A and B are shown apart, each in its own frame.
Chain A
Amino acid sequence: MKNFEALSPSKHRDVRIMVDYIDQPDAQTNSVPILVSELLLCGANYPLFLIKNSDNGEFMCCALLGFAENENLFLHDGQWSATHIPLTFSRKPFHMTQESNLVYIDIDNPWVNRDRGERLFLDNGEFAPYMTEVIRKLERIAIGMDETQAFIRVLAKHDLIEPVKLDVTFDNDLSEKLNGLYTIKKQGISDLSNTELQQLHQTGALEGAYIMLHSLENVKALAKLKNKRLRVSI
């Protein structure tokens, strides 16, 4: 359960954040939504897909972290081993409301404590550098949500989204099928007219589409991580 409190220097002066993914239940997930502004960084680490939000059926850009349910293959000894952790994760346990730009902290999050980790406030009550960084992330997220939806709308408008089925067999001969994943329709890009290509290029959607396509290569890397894990557990 989450228990959000509006962040205030008086109330949270002594609070520290100890990032340790071992005790972060939220991190046990096989996909995480990402923003179009972090596509390049995410694409260098994870296979990226479009996945539908089950609440409203809208597409979200997501990084795939594992194959089985609740499997995050990037977690290792409490660390998330990747060159970039998706913003919707690295902002934890903070949250910013979109309407009022108020910052909230989930005080029940296991990272929240009073002994270890990063401080939020300096002695004079100003934000500590760590917190300034978090707030930058929160602001990027607030702007990035709409940007990302706009990106997806452009893809849909040009009929560039198609479903893919992932069917991966691992070293132990077991296989995992993943449904509900969508990617960029390559043929769709070839079918675009010059004017459409131009438009897509100008909005940055074309680059985004290619990043998503290239990121599919990371499925192999992800399978490798899984096989490594299987070997360890044998």
Chain B
Amino acid sequence: MKDNLMSDSGKIRSILIVGGGSAGWLTAGILAARYGQTMDITLIESPDVKIIGVGEGTWPTMKSTLKEMGVSETDFFRECDASFKQGAKFAKWVTGAEDDYYYHPLMLPQDFTQTNLAPHWLQDSGGRSFSESVCFQEALCEHALAPKTLAMPEYNAAANYAYHLNAGKFTTFLTKHCTEKLNVKHVLATIHDVKQRENGDIDYVVTTANDHLSADLFIDCTGMASLLLGNTLGVEFIDKSDVLFIDSAMAVQKPYDSEEEPILPYTVSTAQDAGWIWDIGLTSRRGIGHVYSSRHTTDEQAELALATYVGPRFKDLSVKKIPIRSGHRKEFWKNNCVAIGLAGGFLEPLEASALMLIELSARFVRDQLPETTSTMPIIAKRFNETLTYHWGRIIDFLKLHYVLSKRDDTAFWRDNRDAVTVPESLTELLRLWEFHTPYRQDFSHKEEVFPAASYQYVLYGMGFKTQVSSRVDNSHARACERAVQENEKIMDKALTLLPDNRQLLRKIHEYGMSSI
């Protein structure tokens, strides 16, 4: 075996994924679905270092990720307590009033690829919110409806969706799928040393039992420890807490009050004095957590805010406290090591972008996997450029939510609008948007993580006023009218056709969904 490897040395034949949280197992599944039979893919995780165990809201990308791995969506729903997510509802972000909310749905505005409805809505909103008049998904959310019927096959729906899932069960589910179906080798051991070659490449890792595991490519999925990329290779961490202030999290798991309590098919994010609270509905419970800035509040106050949100049952729940650090590594791929997941960095989960970035990174590695060590630096450079770009856009997009807030009841909200905390790239975009609505031309990257539509939903959901030109031609105006009417028609139909979210989830558990 060893001789064989030596004879055409330089070929990339083996991959060691270090870490078995969501990042490790998603990466393993994405890589092994393509290379499981032709490469040696091993995942090592420590039985003692627990996974972070949060991160329960996904993007719609997770559908294709799971499908490509050959996962039965029915099994996934049943075993991960999964539920449908059709967007995020942002409450109290603009003024803090009780009735202050807007949606960021998962579907594009009606006819988005041909017609930009934003200028039309800005000129005449007809008294409706932006997302309401351009997209029918908000109505589905407000009625707690599922995005599909049981008659639709797995991964198909009438409205786009992502998932809420139980993070712990998800890694267990993926472990089983990857090891049983995709030929991933699984090692349970703690690494206590990492050996490098002269050129800095990682040679092998040493476990506490003194086993050595070597590979041609190492993927660091060790979470915030960043064992290989940060610790061993010494890649610098770029702190972003001057832009995004959140640095602490506190999470609880709340049982439903009854079997009838609606399972909300969207994530609720409710702004607080010094942060915000997420609320994610699974089939088995709700996951609720407060993320906040410790520079603007105390743990006691933060816990009180969480307790108020959760209600009287809070005293029976155990509170998990998680310190977090906003920022990312300066590089994500150095030598023969790529960091994916928290090992590469973390930003507050306001738009649930972490799992999506894991999928995107793993897909990049899969699609551009270097053939030989000699091409590795070229691919690494591309990877770093792409990822640095994406982190930048995500930071801008998250900050946008704070910049557009009109709240000035606490220092947290006021400080967030301080110009020195706003990235130059975002300031520039905001200047542009004073007169132009974000549309397709504004974003350069072919695989943009937040499409222009997302910027529209947040900008106009939060009451941003773009001074649109009155130079509109009639045919465009008619196209807009038609699109708005079409949206209303689809909305009426969807509201009668689609079942209650909890009911459909129950049926999926009972009958399953078919693959066709």
Contacts and interface: CB of A to CB of B under 8 A. Distances in A.
Interface of A: 51-59, 156, 161-163, 180, 182
A86 to B, nearest CB: 20
Contacts of B514: 52, 57, 59, 156
A132 B150 CA distance: 38
Contacts, number: 32
A57 B516 contact: no
Interface string B489-516: 0000000000100000001001111101
5 contacts: A54-B150, A54-B151, A56-B510, A57-B514, A162-B516
A45 B277 CA distance: 60
Interface of B is mostly: loop
A170 B512 CA distance: 37
Contacts of A163: 153, 516
Interface residues of B, number: 13
Counting chain B CB atoms within 10 Å of each CB, the highest count among A51, A57, A59, A162 belongs to A57
A53 B516 contact: no
From A54, A59, A180, residue with most partner B Cβ within 10 Å: A54
B149 interface: yes
Contact of A182 (B150, B499, B510, B516): B516
A56 B150 contact: yes
A54 B516 contact: no
A52 B150 CA distance: 8
Nearest to B151: A52
A71 B355 CA distance: 47
A181 B114 CA distance: 30
Contacts of A54: 149-151, 499
Contacts of A58: 511
A54 to B, nearest CB: 5
Nearest to A180: B151
8 smallest CB-CB distances across A and B, nearest first, come from A52-B151, A57-B150, A56-B511, A54-B151, A57-B511, A54-B149, A180-B151, A54-B150
A23 to B, nearest CB: 25
Contacts of B511: 56-58
A217 B401 CA distance: 57
Interface in B119-163: 149-153
Contacts of A51: 151
Given A57-B151, A58-B511, A163-B153, 17 more contacts: A51-B151, A52-B514, A54-B149, A54-B150, A54-B499, A55-B150, A55-B507, A56-B511, A57-B150, A57-B511, A57-B513, A59-B514, A156-B514, A161-B516, A162-B516, A180-B151, A182-B516
